[in-house]
Structures are given as C-alpha cells and as structure tokens.
Amino acid sequence: MALVPDSRIPRRGLMLVLSSPSGAGKSTIARALLEREDRLAMSVSVTTRDPRPGEEDGKDYFFIDDAAYRAKVEEKELLEHAEVFGHYYGTPRSLVEKHLSVGEDVLFDIDWQGTQQLRESARDDLISVFVLPPSYDELAKRLKGRGQDSEDVVKGRMAKAANEMSHWPEYDYVIINEDIETSIANAQAILKAERLRRSRRVGLGDFVNEMRSHNG
C-alpha cells in the first residue's frame, strides 16, 4: 500500500509501462522519472543480448544466457517475456512483486508484446504510455547518433521502427517526444493523475466515513 504524496489515503501500487521504437527517447524519460519521483522503482529485465558499453549487470539488465532464460520461462519466474530483435527479454516476477508489496509503483521499459501480456494480468493497475519520435528523420538521426550498434543493427532497427510504431493505439497515453523536458513533465503528469485515481485509493471509504461519523 502506498501513500500518495499529497494525501494520507492508502492506495494500490500501479505499474507504469513505457514503450517506443528504439531511439524515441524512452530511456531518458524513464531515467528522469526515477530521479524525480518518489516511491517509483524500475523493473530490471533479464535479457539474452550482450551488454553494450557502459551497461551494468543488475542495473540496466540481468544478462543471462539462453539456457538460464529457458529455465526462467519454464519455472514461470517471468511476469511477461518476448523475443525482440532476435534476443529474448523478460520481466522477473519476484522483483515487481517486492516493489509493489512495499508500496512502490513500478516502471517498465518493455515492448508492445510484453505490455499486452502484463495487461492481461495487471488489468486496471497497468498504465501504458507510448513514446513517439517527432518525425522519421529525427528517429533516424537518433539511432545513428547513439553509435553503440553496428550498421546492420541500426538498419534493422530502422526497418522495425515503423512496425513498432503501429502499436500506438493499444496504449493509454501517447507522448510525442519533441522536447525532452516537456516529455518528462508530461510523463510526470500522467503518473500524478493516475496516482490520484479514485478506484486505486482503497482508503477513501474509511477516510470519508470517519469524517461523516462526527455528524451522527
């Protein structure tokens, strides 16, 4: 049970998903949300892809091999899992449950396949946000600018970006990332409003009943 920042009313934790084609700025928005928002924890995924320079095991991802991944799928240790660009990714169930149980909301950077799976299990507690680049040219520039992947990988991602983007109607909110600070503020506004949603604030009944009891 979490307390919303501006109130004493207990509420259920929520799961906030950010998805986008690679290069739309989703990771920057996620990092800023974690820095600026209290009681928000990142879900760290497992992946079978190799770490990129600068990536840390246990922080960016848990880097595992195919056999370990298959074992986790079989043991049902993953809340959702999917193949993305030829590698396997999945969300460890235990970590998410740990955060929610201590009253933290959980932020996910996962693709549309994972979002569909999470939606089935989390229903109303899942808030999904799709981040779009401001234009195709800008997306191409950002993908090249990153310089961490081979040319073939960049080409492959460019080709898949159009397909990825076709999933925007499945999301609750869409942010067009023209200006990063505006996009971060918009993501914060979504989180703030969703934290205040009546259906999630399970302590409201008691709160109001207590006030009303003074009259009788």
The H-or-E segment that residue 108 falls in is strand 105-109
Binding part of the chain for ligand 5GP, among 34-42, 65-73, 88-96, 119-127 by CB under 6 A, reads 88-96
Please list, in sequence order, all residues whose beta carbon lies within 8 angstroms of the beta carbon of residue 175, skipping any fewer than 6 positions away.
29, 129, 130, 131, 132, 183, 186, 187
Please list, in sequence order, all residues whose beta carbon lies within 8 angstroms of the beta carbon of residue 111, skipping any fewer than 6 positions away.
19, 82, 84, 89, 164
C-beta closer to ligand 5GP: residue 2 or 79: 79
Binding part of the chain for ligand 5GP, among 9-17, 106-114, 181-189, 197-205 by CB under 6 A, reads 106-114
Chain position whose Cβ is nearest to ligand 5GP = 114
C-beta closer to ligand 5GP: residue 63 or 207: 63
* Cα end-to-end span (Å), the chain: 30
Site for ligand 5GP contains 91 (CB under 6 A): yes
The one-character DSSP state at 61 is B
Amino acid symbol at 38: D
Q: Among residue numbers 29 through 48, which ones bind ligand 5GP (CB under 6 A)?
A: 45
Site for ligand 5GP contains 128 (CB under 6 A): no
Site for ligand 5GP contains 109 (CB under 6 A): yes
C-beta closer to ligand 5GP: residue 142 or 197: 142
